[in-house]
Amino acid sequence: MANIMYWEAIRRAHDEEMERDPLVICMGEDIGVAGGTYKATKGLYEKYGAERVIDTPISENGYTGLGIGASFLGVRPIIEIMSVNFAWLAMDQLFNSAAKVRYMSGGQLAAPVVVRSPGGTAHQLGAQHSARMEKVFMGIAGLRVVTPSNPRQAYGLLKSAVRCNDPVFINEHELMYNMKGEVPDEEYFHPLEGSEVVREGRDVTLFGYNISVHWCLQAAETLSKQYGIEAEVVDLYALAPLDRAGIAASVRKTHRAVIAEEDEAPVGVGAEVMAIINEECFFDLDAQPVRVTAVNVPMPYNHTLEKAAIPSAGDVVAAVRKMFGK
């Protein structure tokens, strides 16, 4: 096992897939000469050249459309959108072209394109650079959405996405690029569907994805040590499709559920998970499911207000304590 950073895992996946297949290319702003805003393509420009590691203009709609069009002809682009906030500009290309082309062509065309983009709240970047947009992408039929919570997933999900014939959106978190974790030395492919139980428990299930998985793990330790509550933690790394069977199996085991997300509550991941719980295991519940979410406001720039707007491990603990009357 190699103990490497999140960004290094992404870079390694790029490198391996580009070395294996000359039709794998990279596109995005500052990914070439500069090596990427978060170093995820560092050194690839020097190794593969400007025709395969393409520095694009600041035109998300333009270069995303170019990459999707190339994918129709068999190229496998990895498109980096520097910040998910800017992905709004590429939605027409991604949602109306890539996500729908297989269905609308009767299977004659596919769009094997990967779009990676960092998002989340990353310390005083203001409302227009702190978007959490996973709920927008996961509602689009024909588009796969995954969100790695550790370097192993970041590596394995990107490799699987590159070889998938469906369009895949990979939602990364800006605060996780320097996180270290173990990645297999041998080639590893992570499933694009499912969920992972990252901590076994019996009393309540804590659901999270990307950064909120870590809040849930911290909360689970506190709950165990201070209150004798053993929480199970489930990592929802695949947001589209969501793992209905895995969600239901954990809730049937613990009979309680808390869903933690950095996004605002309305029409969010937590709302969809609660719908699944209601549909699949309503009569297994011993308490109503609870969402721990951000405050429904544009993200403040002020540090104190920003901190107050987003949830934490402490909020997850408080939600569970309230559920158990402790």
CATH number at residue 206: 3.40.50.920
Question: Domain for residue 203, yes or no?
Answer: yes
Question: Domain for residue 190, yes or no?
Answer: no
Question: Domain for residue 266, yes or no?
Answer: yes
Domain match, 144 and 236 both: no
Query: How far does Cα 24 stand from its chain's mean position?
Result: 22
**Last residue within a domain, chosen from 114, 148, 183:** 183
Does pLDDT of 248 surpass 90? yes
Burial of 190 (0-12, 13-18, 19+ CB in 10 A): buried
Q: With CA atoms as reference, report the closest residue to 77 among 64, 90, 94.
A: 64
Number of domains in the chain: 2
Q: Point out the least confidently predicted range of 7-11, 124-128, 200-204.
A: 124-128
Domain match, 203 and 172 both: no
Looking at residue 70, what is its pLDDT? 97
Report for 134-138, 202-206, 297-301: range of highest mean pLDDT: 202-206
Question: Domain for residue 189, yes or no?
Answer: no
Looking at residue 100, what is its pLDDT? 97
Domain match, 165 and 205 both: no
Looking at residue 326, what is its pLDDT? 79
Looking at residue 131, what is its pLDDT? 85
Q: Is 106 left (phi over 0), alpha (psi -120 to 50) or beta?
A: left
* pLDDT > 70: percent of the chain: 100
Looking at residue 128, what is its pLDDT? 82
Mean pLDDT of 196-211: 98
Domain match, 118 and 162 both: yes
Does pLDDT of 27 surpass 90? yes
Question: Domain for residue 259, yes or no?
Answer: yes
Token pair, residue 103, equals 């269905």
Residues assigned a catalytic role: 60, 129
Domain match, 176 and 202 both: no
121 and 262 Cβ atoms separated by less than 8 Å: yes
Looking at residue 11, what is its pLDDT? 98
**Last residue within a domain, chosen from 183, 217, 236:** 183
> What whole-number distance in Å separates Cα of residue 94 and Cα of residue 298?
25
Domain match, 128 and 267 both: no
> What whole-number distance in Å separates Cα of residue 174 and Cα of residue 160?
21
Does pLDDT of 46 surpass 90? yes
* pLDDT > 90: percent of the chain: 94
Looking at residue 126, what is its pLDDT? 82
Domain match, 24 and 82 both: yes
> What whole-number distance in Å separates Cα of residue 155 and Cα of residue 187?
9
For the chain, the average pLDDT equals: 96
Domain match, 21 and 119 both: yes
199 and 215 Cβ atoms separated by less than 8 Å: no
Residue 59's domain comprises: 2-183
Domain match, 18 and 107 both: yes
Domain match, 229 and 319 both: yes
Sign of the dihedral defined by the CA atoms of residues 225, 226, 230, 233, in that order: negative
Question: Domain for residue 147, yes or no?
Answer: yes
Domain match, 129 and 208 both: no
Does pLDDT of 238 surpass 90? yes
Question: Domain for residue 188, yes or no?
Answer: no
Question: Domain for residue 211, yes or no?
Answer: yes
Convert the pLDDT of each residue in 91-142 to its tens digit: 999 999 999 999 999 999 999 999 999 998 888 888 888 888 899 999 999 9
Domain match, 164 and 252 both: no
